[in-house]
């Protein structure tokens, strides 16, 4: 983040007070910058002391459309006044259009909406395992998924169990089995890790959380060819890299790759839901 006025430390009187109060009453699973935002529009945020910031983080992609996009706010307000929630026990009047539009954007037949990115990843894991048992014929209970070092796919217990980041993982075991880690960007390592129980490969086309890490040119395309050849599903976690973040609809598009599963989040909620 950068600032046009004052300092970026967020230590002005109101910021400091509100920051310390929030820190005193939140469990410390995160280390936020000491910036206390009160208002935002487009790419700009203003803190409680009037300092303006250019928001280059964009909510880790949740705000790819900017803060308070007027068109999105208008339809969100209209919807809130009309209908807030139905549960999946009923179908609401926007559901068919939403599923068709998202499916068409991805070039896929089916979509399954979740509430968070981590749930979307969990769902992709379930889909790959179920496919492994019911279609590929993997022995029950033996399905294995290949993941990458340096990954970040969320913070549920299953997901942190296949992270190599001590901050995400330490103290939360025991963890679910069924994951094999290989170095990110190493196609030969993926190939060597595949066996008859491998049902899928779950990776980010660009890693986001541990620094912006790009795989070597050709890796993503090679992974697509390898997984297709080996009868293994390819799940692209595009939660942070996708939906316009890298200049294409999906980061996979840079290598003209269509994975078997897109895992989406962040910008899909337009910074509102």
Nearer to ligand PLP, 138 or 239 (CB): 239
Q: Does 69 bind ligand PLP (CB under 6 A)?
A: no
47 bridge partner residues: 37
Q: Given the rule CB under 6 A, which of 7-15, 70-78, 150-158, 184-192 is the region that contacts ligand PLP?
A: 150-158
- Edge-first strand order for the sheet with 2-3 is 2-3, 52-54, 44-47, 37-41
Q: Does 154 bind ligand PLP (CB under 6 A)?
A: yes
* Single residue of 194, 235, 239, 257 touching ligand PLP by CB under 6 A: 239
- Classify each residue of 209-236 as buried b or exposed e, where b means 16 or more C-beta atoms within 10 Å of its C-beta: beeebbbeeebbebbbebbeeeebbbbb
Distance, C-alpha 122 to centroid of its chain: 11
- State in angstroms the smallest separation of the CB of 78 from ligand PLP: 25
Nearer to ligand PLP, 15 or 250 (CB): 250
251 to 270: interface string for ligand PLP, x by CB under 6 A: --------------x-----
Question: How many residues lie near ligand PLP (CB under 6 A)?
Answer: 15
Q: Which residue is nearest to ligand PLP (CB)?
A: 117
C-beta separation of 204 from 148 below 8 A: yes
For the chain, the 3-state helix, strand and coil shares in percent, each to the nearest 5, are 35, 15, 50
Which residue numbers are catalytic? Answer: 152, 237, 266
């Amino acid at each position: 983040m950068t600032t046009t006025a004052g300092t970026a430390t967020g230590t002005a009187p109101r910021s400091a007070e509100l920051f310390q109060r929030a820190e005193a009453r939140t469990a410390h699973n995160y280390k936020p910058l000491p910036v206390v935002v009160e208002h935002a529009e487009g790419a700009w945020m203003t803190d409680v002391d009037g300092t303006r910031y250019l928001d280059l983080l964009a909510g880790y992609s949740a705000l790819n459309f900017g803060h308070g996009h007027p068109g999105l706010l208008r339809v969100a307000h209209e919807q809130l006044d009309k209908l807030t929630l139905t549960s999946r026990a009923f179908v609401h009047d926007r559901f068919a259009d939403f599923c068709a539009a998202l499916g068409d954007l991805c070039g896929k037949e089916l979509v399954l909406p979740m509430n968070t990115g981590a749930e979307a990843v969990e769902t992709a894991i379930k889909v790959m395992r179920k496919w492994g048992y019911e279609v590929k014929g993997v022995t029950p209970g033996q399905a294995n998924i290949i993941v990458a070092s340096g990954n970040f796919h969320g913070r549920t217990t299953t997901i942190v169990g296949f992270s190599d980041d001590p901050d995400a993982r330490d103290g939360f075991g025991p963890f679910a089995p069924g994951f094999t880690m290989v170095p990110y960007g190493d196609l030969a390592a993926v190939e060597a890790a595949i066996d008859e129980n491998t049902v899928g490969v779950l990776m980010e086309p660009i890693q986001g959380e541990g620094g912006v890490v790009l795989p070597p040119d050709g890796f993503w395309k090679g992974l697509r060819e390898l997984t297709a050849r080996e009868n293994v599903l390819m799940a692209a976690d595009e939660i942070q890299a996708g939906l316009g973040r890298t200049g294409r609809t999906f980061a996979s598009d840079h290598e003209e790759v269509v994975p078997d599963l897109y895992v989406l989040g962040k910008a899909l909620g337009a910074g509102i839901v």
